[in-house]
């Protein structure tokens, strides 16, 4: 069953963000993840949540998503994260087809 990493991102530093984004993308691919949403326009339909940028990554399952998050490859991306962005990040179990 697929699993999703959902991130609500606020960019702090564009140059650092590019370094983080490049490293994160390489690590995601290595762990069989794929971007479903990577920015794009947001239309608020209900509630008070006002995200600036949403990123959603699909992994084959929860175990693979957790392995990516704890991986040395993603740890390398995290070295640029704090300067690059602030965010809220969650892991969600998907629905089986």
Evaluate if residue 97 carries a pLDDT over 80: no
Instruction: Measure the N-to-C terminal CA separation of the chain; round to a whole number of Å.
Output: 8
Q: What is the value of pTM for the model shown?
A: 0.92
Average pLDDT over residues 16-40: 95
Q: Where are the beta strands (DSSP E) in the chain?
A: 3-11, 34-38, 53-59, 85-93
Top-level class of domain 3-42+51-84: alpha beta
Average pLDDT over residues 81-93: 95
Evaluate if residue 1 carries a pLDDT over 90: yes
Please state, for a pLDDT cut of 90, what percent of the chain lies above it.
94
> Comparing C-alpha atoms, which of 4, 63, 60, 55 is closest to residue 32?
60
Evaluate if residue 28 carries a pLDDT over 80: yes
Q: Where are the domains of the chain?
A: 3-42+51-84
pLDDT of residue 65: 98
Evaluate if residue 51 carries a pLDDT over 80: yes
What would you measure as the largest C-alpha separation in the chain, in angstroms?
A: 39
> Comparing C-alpha atoms, which of 79, 31, 78 is closest to residue 89?
78
């Amino acid at each position: 069953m697929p699993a999703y990493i959902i991130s609500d991102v606020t960019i702090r530093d564009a140059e650092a963000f590019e370094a983080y984004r490049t490293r994160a993308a390489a690590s995601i691919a290595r762990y069989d993840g794929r971007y479903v949403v990577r920015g794009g326009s947001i239309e608020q339909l209900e509630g008070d949540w006002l995200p600036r940028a949403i990123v959603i990554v699909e992994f084959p399952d929860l175990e693979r998503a957790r392995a990516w998050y704890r991986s040395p490859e993603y740890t390398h991306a995290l070295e640029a994260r704090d300067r690059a962005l602030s965010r809220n990040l969650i892991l969600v179990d998907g629905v089986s087809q």
